[in-house]
């Protein structure tokens, strides 16, 4: 054996490892500089003080871990109904799977995580995160923690709710024993403030909400399950951790440019904890502080027309759940929210009802991570959006929401109790107006269509909204003037989704970039300039300058200035007209420019679509329906259909977090000098 060869191999490996490490350090420094660029001076000062406080916490000079003794006399009212009229079978089956260590975690289906799971280990990569001080742990580093989304998901403890539901429905204490085993294991290996499960206040808050639901289903403080030495010991240890969780959330709220859905989630966790466990004097402070935040953030983060300013359909649903849970918890315990707060909830539901097509499809606008606050329904036949509308139908007495929901779901039954079915069935739909709304001027979405809710429905959603919320616009996509389109409840032209967050950087860039949306791309550039996985530096501004809807025609005209930053600035304007008689959509893209540019026009098709070449374009086939796509005419223009391409990355759809599959993408390309007008026609 040649030692020289061995030595060369080792040196080569070391050089590659060193180069990778240097590159990683450079990327981290770049991210930090970009993050600073998105901060105001007050935020920088806040973060410096917060960092100092965290270091003092780590060495024990700040923040006392002592938990005062609870006063168990107060008896709060439950807002989860243990007597929900549901079929027990799916809950008992799910609980048995959990007991066997089988859990679904994003792309891992029926994965063997163990019972209890290894709480500090990413089940996807197998990386075990260090048990260092949580708030100083770099959870964005996959070498250190793996894929943090996968690690955090089981630690939200949604599955403990399933175990508690199974116990409530069967009265079989084996489900409680599994729950107790998981909790005791978690307490042992996830000590207060240590490790990845104490790195994010939002994750801590969501765990609190799931603990609240499980606690109520088990019977609360005086449940017979807490009798005896073992039961009392569990209750005592659980209450101790609950207090620590609430104080942690209160001390690490997401503020300034991070004050997005995280802050609403954190305030929701604190509010629900205070009402579920009013056993310490500080619980009154938790309620006041959390309720003030929720009222304020509802008006800041949700536009009056009901659109989440994060410009994400998925986070719209996530925040709706948080706001609904706090509303129900508050009403049950005499903590009433303002009329404005409830009005925001109703408006948010109106937006979801309006963008949902006749087939129940909701376009995947902005980021999506499949995150749930609580899983209250097992094996439900309706979607998460339809479930929210079912709850909203009963809550607000809305027949139009009932029609869009289609049926009552178990989640609504757990929230509203034994009367839920009668209330839902009793709602009249005679006066229901559909579509609910077509124009959302503050949120920037406009719905063109005809024959709504029927077998011949055309529903086109045009986007002229802002990139996202706050200076970082964390969950927005570079999709100004993009559109989605369904016909007869079948998706033809789609938003391809999200796929990845902290890992798979090239895919993260693609799915939230301009080339992954049905709009125009100039010189291969994104409309907005990314600065990190959850950050945008230069942000395109967009708007609608004309919107009309009449019996014969819907008309939208919008603009964005994202390409005005180019050395030769380009202004993009888009006009979309739907002739309802001929069922023809005409799209005109006007590009104002002085120089020469490469122009790409994208049409992302559903993975179930089959494009067939035709004169001047394509015929798209889907589910027995066909539509005609007539592309612009231009000298030297070319057309390419991509289907799962990696060079370039094009032709993909992601319906679930961390899952992607090929889908046809039609890319029209031409090079223009000076102004150009591109005319596309779609006939349905």
DSSP codes, 339-373: HHHHHHHHHHHHHHHHHS-TTS-----S------S
Which residues neighbour 360 within 8 Å (Cβ) at sequence distance 6 or greater? Answer: 382, 383, 385, 386, 406, 489
- pLDDT tens, position by position, 542-554: 999 999 999 999 9
Residue the block writes with tokens 């992954």: 516
User: Burial level of 565, CB count in 10 A (0-12/13-18/19+)?
Assistant: middle
| Residue 237 pLDDT exceeds 80 | yes
- What would the mean pLDDT of 292-308 be, rounded to a whole number? 98
Whole-Å CA distances, 601 to 73, 365, 399, 523, 655? 66, 19, 40, 11, 23
632 vs 6: which has the higher pLDDT: 632
Segment among 64-73, 210-219, 354-363, 366-375 with least mean pLDDT: 64-73
pLDDT grade, residue 12 (50/70/90)? low
Nearest-Å Rg of the Cα atoms of the chain is: 26
Q: How much is the average pLDDT of 142-164?
A: 97
Q: What is the pLDDT of residues 572-582, one digit of tens each?
A: 999 999 999 99
Average pLDDT over residues 101-109: 97
Tell me, what's the pLDDT at 119?
98
pLDDT exceeds cutoff 60 at 4 = no
For residue range 331-343, what is the model confidence (pLDDT) as tens digits? Answer: 999 999 999 999 9
**pLDDT for the residue 25:** 74
Q: Which H or E run contains 459?
A: strand 458-463
Residue 471 pLDDT exceeds 80: yes
Structure tokens belonging to residue 653: 């759809």
**Residues composing the chain:** 684
Using a pLDDT cut of 70, give the percent of the chain over it.
97
**Residue-by-residue DSSP string for 409-428:** -HHHHHHHGGGHHHHHHT--
**Rounded mean pLDDT, 248-258:** 96
Terminal-to-terminal C-alpha distance of the chain: 71
Provide the 3-class DSSP secondary structure of residue 655: strand
Judged against a pLDDT cut of 70, whether residue 17 lies above it is answered with no
Confidence of residue 20 (pLDDT cuts 50, 70, 90): low
Report the predicted TM-score, pTM, of the whole model to 2 decimal places.
0.95
Do residues 511 and 79 lie in contact, with contact meaning Cβ atoms separated by under 8 Å?
A: no
pLDDT band per the 50, 70, 90 thresholds, residue 31? confident
How far apart, in whole angstroms, are the C-alpha atoms of residue 588 and residue 293?
44
Q: What is the mean pLDDT of the chain?
A: 95
Token reading at 383: 């979607």
Question: Is 82 buried (19+), middle (13-18) or exposed (0-12) by CB count in 10 A?
Answer: middle
Per-residue tokens: 540: 């395109």
User: What whole-number distance in Å separates Cα of residue 384 and Cα of residue 480?
Assistant: 26
CA 238 vs CA 99, 131, 185, 244: distances in Å: 20, 21, 12, 10
Token pair for 249: 């959330």
270/287 Cα distance (integer angstroms):
7
Average pLDDT rounded to a whole number, residues 508-513: 98
Quickly count: other Cβ atoms within 10 Å of residue 217's Cβ. 26
Quote the pLDDT of residue 23. Answer: 67
The CATH architecture to which 439-683 belongs is: Distorted Sandwich (2.70)
- Considering the chain, tell me which residue range(s) the CATH 2.70.98.70 domain(s) occupy: 439-683
Distance CA 148, CA 329 (A): 30
């Amino acid at each position: 054996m040649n030692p020289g060869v061995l030595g060369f191999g080792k040196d080569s490996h070391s050089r590659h490892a060193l180069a990778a490490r240097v590159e990683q350090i450079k990327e981290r420094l770049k991210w930090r500089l970009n993050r600073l660029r998105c901060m105001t001076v007050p935020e920088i000062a806040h973060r410096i003080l917060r960092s100092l406080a965290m270091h003092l916490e780590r060495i024990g000079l700040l923040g006392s871990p002592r938990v005062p003794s609870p006063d168990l006399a107060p008896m709060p009212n439950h807002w989860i109904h243990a007597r929900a009229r549901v079929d027990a079978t799916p809950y008992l089956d799910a609980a048995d799977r959990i007991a066997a260590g089988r859990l679904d975690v994003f792309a891992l289906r029926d994965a063997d995580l163990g019972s209890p799971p290894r709480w500090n280990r990413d089940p996807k990569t197998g990386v075990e995160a260090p048990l260092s001080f949580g708030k100083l742990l770099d959870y964005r580093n996959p070498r250190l923690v793996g894929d943090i989304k996968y690690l955090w998901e089981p630690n939200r403890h949604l599955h403990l709710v399933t175990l508690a539901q199974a116990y409530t429905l069967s009265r079989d204490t084996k489900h409680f024993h599994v729950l107790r085993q998981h909790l005791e294991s978690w307490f042992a290996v996830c000590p207060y403030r240590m490790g990845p499960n104490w790195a994010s206040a939002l994750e801590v808050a969501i765990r609190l909400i799931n603990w609240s639901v499980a606690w109520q289903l088990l019977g609360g403080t005086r449940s017979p399950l807490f009798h005896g030495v073992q039961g009392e010991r569990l209750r005592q240890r659980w209450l101790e951790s609950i207090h620590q969780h609430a104080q942690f959330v209160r001390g690490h709220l997401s503020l300034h440019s991070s004050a997005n859905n995280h802050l609403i989630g954190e305030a929701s966790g604190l509010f629900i904890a205070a009402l579920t466990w009013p056993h310490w004097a500080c619980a009154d402070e938790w309620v006041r502080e959390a309720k003030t935040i929720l009222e304020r953030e509802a008006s800041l983060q949700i536009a009056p027309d009901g659109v989440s300013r994060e410009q994400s359909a998925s986070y719209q649903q996530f925040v709706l759940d948080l706001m609904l849970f706090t509303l129900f918890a508050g009403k049950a315990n005499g903590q009433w929210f303002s009329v404005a707060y409830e009005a925001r909830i109703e408006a948010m539901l109106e937006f979801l009802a309006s963008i949902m097509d006749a087939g129940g499809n909701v376009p995947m606008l902005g980021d999506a991570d499949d995150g749930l606050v609580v899983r209250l329904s097992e094996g439900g036949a309706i979607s998460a959006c339809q479930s929210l509308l079912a709850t909203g139908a009963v809550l607000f007495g809305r027949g139009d929401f009932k029609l869009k929901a289609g049926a009552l779901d178990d989640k609504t039954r757990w929230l509203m109790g034994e009367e839920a079915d009668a209330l839902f069935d009793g709602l009249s739909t005679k006066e229901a107006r559909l579509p609910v709304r077509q124009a959302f001027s503050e949120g920037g979405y406009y719905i063109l269509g005809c024959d709504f809710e029927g077998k011949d429905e055309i529903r086109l959603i045009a986007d002229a909204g802002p990139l996202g919320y706050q200076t970082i616009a964390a969950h927005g996509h570079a999709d100004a003037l993009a559109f989605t389109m369904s016909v007869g409840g079948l998706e033809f032209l789609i938003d391809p989704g999200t796929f990845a967050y902290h890992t798979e950087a090239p895919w993260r860039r693609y799915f939230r970039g301009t080339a992954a949306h049905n709009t125009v791309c100039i010189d291969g550039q994104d409309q907005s300039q990314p600065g990190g996985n959850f950050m945008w530096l230069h942000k395109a501004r967009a708007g609608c300058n004309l919107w009309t809807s009449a019996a014969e025609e819907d008309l939208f005209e919008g603009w964005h200035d994202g390409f005005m930053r180019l050395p030769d600035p380009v202004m993009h304007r888009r006009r979309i007209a739907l002739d309802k008689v001929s069922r023809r959509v005409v799209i005109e893209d006007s590009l104002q420019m002085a120089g020469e540019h490469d122009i790409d026009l994208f049409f992302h098709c559903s993975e179930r679509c089959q494009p067939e070449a035709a004169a001047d374009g394509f015929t798209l086939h889907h589910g027995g329906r066909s539509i005609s796509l007539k592309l612009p005419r231009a000298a030297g223009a070319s057309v390419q259909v991509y289907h799962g391409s990696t060079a370039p990355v094009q032709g993909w759809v992601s319906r679930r977090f961390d899952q992607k599959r090929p889908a046809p993408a039609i890319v029209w390309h031409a090079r223009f000098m000076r102004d150009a007008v591109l005319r596309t026609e779609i006939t349905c």
